[in-house]
Homo-oligomer: A and B are copies of this chain.
Amino acid sequence: MREVAVIGTGMTKFGELWDSPLRDLYAEAVADCLKDAGVKRDQIQSAWIGCMTSGLFNGQEHLASILTDYAGLSGIAATRVESACASGGAAFRAGWLEVASGASDFVLAGGVEKMNDGADATYCLSTAADQEYEVYHGVTFPGLYAMIAKAHMHKHGTTREDLAAVAVKNHKHGARNPRAQFPTEITMDTVLNAVTVSTPLGLFDCSPVSDGAATVLLAPVEVAEDLGRPYVTVKGSGHATDSIALHDRSDLASIPVVKKAAEKAYAMAGVGPKDIDVVEVHDCFTIAELVCLEELGFFEPGQAAAATKAGTTALGGDLPVNTSGGLKSKGHPVGATGIAQIIEIVEQLTGRAEGRQVEGAKIGLAQNMGGSGGSSTVHILEVS
């Protein structure tokens, strides 16, 4: 397999972007990415685009064809991939495989979601769960993660304040990210006194409904070297699935798919949790950040909350987590999230995370998740 580099990044601001249609969002991210990489459109051979449900949100399938056409790339091989909220991570993995195989040298791996377009977002997102055995009975995504939170509280003594501390930290980080949807610091009181969405989760425990697109450009390391610009190398890629439905899991206080994906990525990269300098995890709800950090091996089960309150996972701590603001503050256009996480890690490793830079970061990890743990990708990136 060829070693693969990320040689360019591009993304839109995340937010309620009522003036930007789906196709414009992707085109803007591509333009931003190609400018960053110094690569021309006619050099691009292929694009993989993560998107969860443009059919339901926007009435538009055949997505890779229309998006690459509007991005000025018509003619290339272009494929949409879907793994619910892990669609971006899955697109990154697909692009990595194409470059690694030797089939193509310049491959875009991107993601997009236009969630504010008139559709019922709660219904659209519910299609990431098991329709026949979960959704038809009334459960929503805040409800599913609330069950995980309750189980975690029961098993590990996690408190309402532990969850709130994740939101406060991520908003503090996001306030330093100009592309964040909510770049605003918040207090514990704000989180604890917010309206309840699904007990124990309140409004500030939940990531928002967002529009946005992100893409990176992949190339073989030898091509990246020739270009003479900063790049990072993909050292590990892990992808795993688990049952979509919570009723098929033996322990609701864990999300085993994250551990499975991480084990594959660590093994391939030849590193472990202790080697990682900066992390982006899938904090679609505050509880998810705690459980994912435990599944990734950074903390023992039940210990991520104490680490969060001690400042370990904050900027300036030993293991800064979600320096981008995470899904909570940066926003969560579901198909774009996995790529935006990769972009944050690339910016950190190449010293371009202005205002939120983790000094000396050499190895970073990005973990993207689908549904309530039905799928997950883990990617480990390193700068030379």
Q: Which residues of A contact B (CB under 8 A)?
A: 1, 21, 46, 52-53, 55-56, 58-66, 68-69, 73-84, 90, 93-94, 97-98, 100-103, 124, 127-132, 135, 237, 239-244, 248, 260, 370-371, 374-375
Contact = CB atoms under 8 A, between A and B. Distances in A.
A1 B81 contact: no
Given A1-B101, A100-B103, A240-B76, A127 B55 contact: yes
A82 B83 contact: no
A62 B1 contact: no
A98 to B, nearest CB: 5
Contact of A241 (B55, B65, B84, B243): B65
A293 to B, nearest CB: 21
A100 B97 CA distance: 9
Contact of A83 (B62, B97, B239, B244): B62
B239 A129 contact: no
A83 B353 CA distance: 35
Contacts of A84: 61-62, 65
Nearest to A79: B90
Nearest to A123: B59
A270 to B, nearest CB: 16
A325 to B, nearest CB: 25
What copy number does this chain have within its complex? 2
Given A65-B84, A101-B100, A75 B127 contact: no
A241 B68 contact: yes
Given A62-B128, A84-B61, A74 B375 contact: no
Contacts of A1: 101-103
Nearest to A372: B62
A94 B103 CA distance: 11
A239 B79 contact: yes
A241 B60 contact: no
A77 B131 contact: no
Contacts of A65: 83-84, 241-244, 370-371, 374-375
Contacts of A53: 55, 61
A129 B375 CA distance: 30
Contacts of A244: 62, 65-66, 69
Closest 8 CB pairs of A and B: A101-B101, A77-B239, A65-B374, A62-B84, A61-B127, A62-B128, A100-B101, A55-B55
Contacts of A128: 61-62
Given A97-B98, A375-B65, A56 B58 contact: no
A56 B59 CA distance: 9
Contacts of A240: 75-77
8 contacts: A1-B102, A52-B62, A62-B370, A66-B130, A69-B374, A79-B83, A81-B82, A101-B101
